[in-house]
Structure 1
Amino acid sequence: MKTPSGLQPLIDDGVIDAVMRPLKSGKEAAVYVVSAGGEIRCAKVYKDMAQRSFQQRVQYQEGRKVRGSREARAIAKASKYGRRQQEAEWKNTEVEALYQLRDAGVRVPEPFGYFHGVLVMELVVDADGHSAPRLGEVELAPEQARGFHRFLVRQVVKMLCAGLIHGDLSEYNVLVAPDGPVIIDLPQVVSAAGNNAARTMLLRDVNNLTASLGAWAPELLDTWYGEEMWALYEAGELHPDTELTGRFEHDESAPDLDGVRHAINDAREEALIRQQGREAAAEGD
């Protein structure tokens, strides 16, 4: 295929040998399958701010570290230099998160470097060597769904212990490899300690996974892992190997409790309806 302009500098520098095919294109970046030194990898080309449609960047960027005081002042003033720095920080975030999370034992793609604004990383494949499917694209037996849920909850715990929250975790950014799920797409990762919306984002991440996998194992819809792990995190009692129960006693006086529970229950009810529809269709066959 014709080499995209964003990848030509990597070929010129010998970082990659050739671009094989496009893998996906989203609101934040375009991903290509590339060859590099005899290995098949993927290259993520981040789109410029003017091309992106992702909303609520300010909410996600709250609490992120800025490299210097000059950069922080420029970003605060929204000057042209500040916008360039903010853009660079945005693109660097996923790269830094991947290295940090790999060190923390989280199952994310292995990064191989960041060159000319392009992230080169592991291509997650299925048993036949093809690009791995997303979690939302596979059918699961109840036991598989329960196992995936246990595994992914453990990954979220490890991320939280490393001080990070995915911020946009769902069935659409988890790939299914032969050895289990792999979490992808981290440019919106947030600081657990420095972002005021951290708890809300964590609960949304966990409950997105629960609602999706609960379609195959409905008993998961009665668990509260996100609330449990956040309470332990706030108390300083959460560790990567902490055993969670999925049970949680809600504080009925919490001001945002109703809104959070309505959102969670809506997602879980939708998943249950989908599951009942599948069962009805199977009975009719």
Structure 2
Amino acid sequence: MKTPASLLTLIDEGVIDEVVRPLKSGKEAAVYVVRAGNDVRCAKVYKDMAQRSFQKRVQYQEGRKSRGSREARAVATGSRYGRRQKEAEWKNAEVDALYQLRDAGVRVPEPHGFFHGVLVMELVTDAEGFTAPRLGEVELDEAQAREFHAVLVRQVVRMLCCGLIHGDLSAYNVLVGPDGPVVIDFPQVVSAAGNNAARTMLLRDVNNLTASLGRWAPDLLDTWFGEEMWALFEAGELQPDTVLTGHFTFDERSVDLDGVRDAINDARELALIRQQGREEAQYEN
């Protein structure tokens, strides 16, 4: 295993003691299992901008604030410094979100610091101490699917009450720990109040979860939790413990109700197709 230079720096500075093994590598970052004293954690090493394939980044970054007026001007002009600043903001977005969401009681990994572009955080494990599987990789019964759906909808509500939307939530960035689902991967986190596409992204997040868990509990497919929580959020009435019903009455005078339902159902079906494709690819490998 070739250890990234950034992790060697963390070893030299005593932040971690050892890189145990690679955990996963994605389009935005590579994650490693590391040891810090007696604790086993994970370290997320972000890839350089030129190496990443994450698309539509501008849409996700809308509404994020630069840390100062000089940085904001540089980002706006697209200078070399501005591009570096934009890169730093992209990395800091996940770090800031993790700390904020953890403090708000959202089920996310506990962050342990951000050093030289590396996010060190809790390693989520299963009941036996092995790396926790992703939600899209486990078999569930109907009762488990209902329970997980309720837990995850509550996490989305708590995120929204913090003014944040995951933006890329699906069964493949939810880990199943011994106490239930844990939400991961926040570099694309969206400002609920500052992003024009916030509602669309929230509905997509909720619909992705509903489509995945609806395979085990089909009646979940007839719920409208995303629409319900967004309406309450817009009205200033959403609280972290607000009881949701999953029912939502559309205003048929101002919207194409059939079009809305068709679009949401299409999104759910697409999520199922993508999940089945991932499962087939894993089986073939």
TM-score, length of structure 2 as denominator length: 0.93
Separation in 2, partners of 1:273, 1:108 = 27
User: Residues 260 and 67 of structure 1: is their aligned pair in 2 closer, same or farther, counting only changes over 3 Å?
Assistant: farther
- Equivalent residue, structure 1, for 2:192: 192
Tell me the distance in 2 between the aligned counterparts of 1:238 and 1:166. 17
2:168 is matched with 168
User: Distance between the aligned counterparts of 1:190 and 1:273, measured in 2?
Assistant: 25
**1:136-184 superposed Cα distances (whole Å, 9 cap, x missing partner):** 0000010000000000000000000010000000000000001000000
After superposition, the Cα gap between the structure-2 partners of 1:256 and 1:68, relative to the gap in structure 1 and judged at 3 Å, is farther
Aligned in 2, Cα 1:27/1:139: closer, same or farther, shift over 3 Å?
same
Instruction: Give the deviation of 1:271 after TM superposition.
Output: 7.2
Q: Cα 1:201–1:270, aligned 2, differ >3 Å: closer, same or farther?
A: closer
Structure 1 residues 271 and 5 mapped into 2: Cα distance closer, same or farther (>3 Å)?
Answer: closer
The count of corresponding residues between Structure 1 and Structure 2 is 275
Please give the secondary structure, in 1, of the residue aligned with 2:5: coil
SS for the counterpart of 1:171 is coil
What aligned pairs does 1:1-285 form with structure 2 within 5 A after superposition? Answer: 1-254=1-254, 260-269=260-269
Please give the secondary structure, in 2, of the residue aligned with 1:31.
strand
State the AA in 1 paired with 2:46: Y
Secondary structure of 2:22's counterpart equals strand
| C-alpha contact 2:204 2:267 (8 A) present in aligned 1 | no
Tell me which moved more, 252-261 or 85-94: 252-261
Q: CA shift at 1:128, angstroms?
A: 1.2
SS of residue in 2 equivalent to 1:6: helix
Cα offset for 1:208? 0.3
**Deviation digits for residues 27-81 of structure 1, max 9, x if unmatched?**
0000000000111000000011111100111100000111011111110110001
TM-score, normalized by length of structure 1? 0.93
- Alpha-carbon distance between aligned partners in 1 of 2:114 and 2:152, rounded to the nearest angstrom: 27
Query: 1:112 corresponds to which letter in structure 2?
Result: H
The answer to whether the 8 Å contact 1:215/1:271 transfers is no
**Gaps (5+ residues) in structure 1?**
275-285
Amino acid aligned to 2:207: N
SS in 2 for 1:231: helix
Q: Measure how far apart 1:263 and its partner are.
A: 3.1
TM-superposed deviation, 1:3: 2.1
